[in-house]
A and B are shown apart, each in its own frame.
Chain A
């Protein structure tokens, strides 16, 4: 491409610097300050006394909940998502676009509304039991199981798509070569296809793990307040009468550490983010 167009990258570079670094720096800065809504901007000081909230039992439990549910959701989504992506990849349907559309279409409906609909189905008297006379899930609303099912149902497409993208990029000649060289179909999958599609699994896992770890709407709606996630703690800091920006920032910084770890992991597998779409 022509060197003249380099100039076009400059505004984007500035935009990214302003909106990637400044907010994050502000957040880290506020995490070590005494800033809350009762403090005027010129009274902000360095203050580490609120760091003790990291060890409050409520917050420790919230962190544990977030991590446990995120890990479980990621594993379940990885197994089911890989299977589905592989099924689509292997299927003899000519128009794969339609099948992918089927996967993406639910994402076009509002997420909160979908979770609320799940919540209705999870409760004792629901629309399914009213029509068919039986309730497929029983009365699980407010339990950890409800949250887990809700998370898996919501984030499964985020696993299917990157895995499918990675599978599609595998050269078909490799599969033929594997079979010609005498591998059984299962060995072909395990030794050739699976390692090559691992990139998609890593991307998908991150796409599932991070929103689950940091989400707060799904545990709040499906958990009925029985399970506090770290996102809920941050949300509550902002809903209280004195808004504790410093507490919220500190907790968000902790989430950020998880994210940086994930990004480092991803860049080892996928340099330019090809499977992100």
Chain B
């Protein structure tokens, strides 16, 4: 029997391994604390708005008792209702046009040669990157210079034009990646089967990029509903959307609590909508997996 010589086993430290596991626990605590802090940062204002919508006092400095009367009162506040109506009219028109036309524009841009496409995409990003105040101010100047020809131009028309200006890029930008993902053979197959190009676009390509169109629409709507600066410069004839109206009233310090009620309702509806959406998506995925 040969004798086996035993060598000392090298430890991990000798390989240069440093044990960081002790650090893991404080890091975890730090992470959780920071995350809660960020959550508070994002939601403090929403929570305050919700509390104020339930406050029976008109003043925001004190909380008297819980009341729901500001909610039905939304319909009695004429100015608020007008502002809400204006916001929805502008956002609805702008989002619809931006989504439909923007999708076709994106297809057009995608079929260009690479160089042309890149330069057009750079221009597409200008409205997104440009500061709102510059966009708003310069558009206002252009409309202002058109005033000798169209004296009553400011109002719904200028507002929709301005909103279209900054919603198109979002639609184009969210449709584009989906177009890149679609199989190029899809289109050729449709054409080989004797379908006219534009019919193929509507019947084959559009269904394939549905998700991109939907997210583009959602983004456009979000931006349009919440816009303040660009709308502020481009409205006229008293056509105020919600942001402009609130900005005007905040200065005078007599904001009706019904605004808080409306905002809270909107947040709750959005939350409910998103939850239903996730639920449907989740059950769809499950269904597909079971089919396989």
A residues within 8 Å of B by Cβ? 1-13, 15-16, 19-20, 22-24, 26-27, 30, 41, 80, 83-84, 87, 95, 97-98, 101-118, 120-121, 123, 125-128, 130-131, 152-153, 156-157, 184-186, 206, 210-211, 213-217, 221, 231, 234, 238, 245, 248-249, 252, 255-256, 258-259, 262-263, 266-267, 271-274, 276-277
Contact A184 B20 (CB under 8 A): yes
Task: Known A-B contacts: A87-B31, A249-B141, A252-B137. Give 20 more (CB < 8 A).
Answer: A5-B110, A5-B201, A105-B267, A105-B274, A106-B45, A109-B267, A113-B259, A117-B45, A120-B61, A128-B48, A153-B44, A156-B38, A184-B20, A206-B129, A210-B131, A252-B134, A256-B130, A258-B131, A263-B129, A273-B121
For the complex, is B63 an interface residue (Cβ under 8 Å from A)? Answer: yes
The interface residues of chain A, by DSSP majority, are classed as: helix
- Chain B contacts of A95 at CB under 8 A? 278, 282
The 9 closest A-B pairs by CB, nearest first: A8-B108, A9-B108, A214-B131, A23-B138, A12-B105, A114-B45, A125-B61, A1-B111, A117-B48
Q: A1-B179, A12-B105, A245-B144 are in contact. Are A110 and B263 (CB under 8 A)?
A: yes
Nearest chain A CB to B41's CB is how many angstroms away?
5
Contact A106 B132 (CB under 8 A): no
Nearest chain A CB to B196's CB is how many angstroms away?
9
Nearest chain B CB to A111's CB is how many angstroms away?
6
Cα A55 to Cα B38 with chains together (Å): 40
Contact B259 A234 (CB under 8 A): no
Which chain A residue lies CB-closest to B87? A110
Contact B20 A8 (CB under 8 A): no
For the complex, is B92 an interface residue (Cβ under 8 Å from A)? Answer: no
Q: A108-B267, A130-B61 are in contact. Are A117 and B49 (CB under 8 A)?
A: yes
Q: A215-B133, A245-B144 are in contact. Are A276 and B61 (CB under 8 A)?
A: no
Contact A9 B109 (CB under 8 A): yes
- Chain B contacts of A24 at CB under 8 A? 134, 138
Q: A1-B110, A13-B120, A277-B170 are in contact. Are A84 and B138 (CB under 8 A)?
A: no
Contact A217 B228 (CB under 8 A): yes
